[in-house]
Amino acid sequence: MCKYMCYSKIMAQINQHLSKCAGKTVQEVKAMYLIEILEKKRLEKGLSYTDIADKLGMHKVTVSRTLRGTTLKPRTVKRLADFLGVEMERIVQ
């Protein structure tokens, strides 16, 4: 039950951020996330973008662009955070 409630809470946060992202520039959206935490964790684990993409069923360009902060889709950020073992609370500002 806690896992579901925690997931629901995170999804509510993501949806809230999605509504805040509407009409904003990439730089403005990027400022809402501490995305560099995910990139640091990826490097600590010694994973390539391709490794992550293959395990999550994503394209490696999507992973790369997200972890570099070029493209920030909240659902993708959430999937990467879960995979890398980083709590969304650490990423979302």
- pLDDT tens sequence across 8-43: 766 666 666 666 666 666 666 655 678 888 999 999
Residue 6 DSSP symbol: H
Q: What is the pLDDT of residues 34-72, one digit of tens each?
A: 888 899 999 999 999 999 999 999 999 999 999 988 888
- The domains located in the chain, with CATH, are 2-91 (1.10.260.40)
More confident residue, 47 or 73: 47
What is the pLDDT, as a whole number, of residue 35?
84
Distance CA 33, CA 79 (A): 14
Whether the Cβ atoms of residue 69 and residue 30 lie closer than 8 Å to each other:
yes
Q: Rounded distance, CA 59 to CA 57, Å?
A: 7
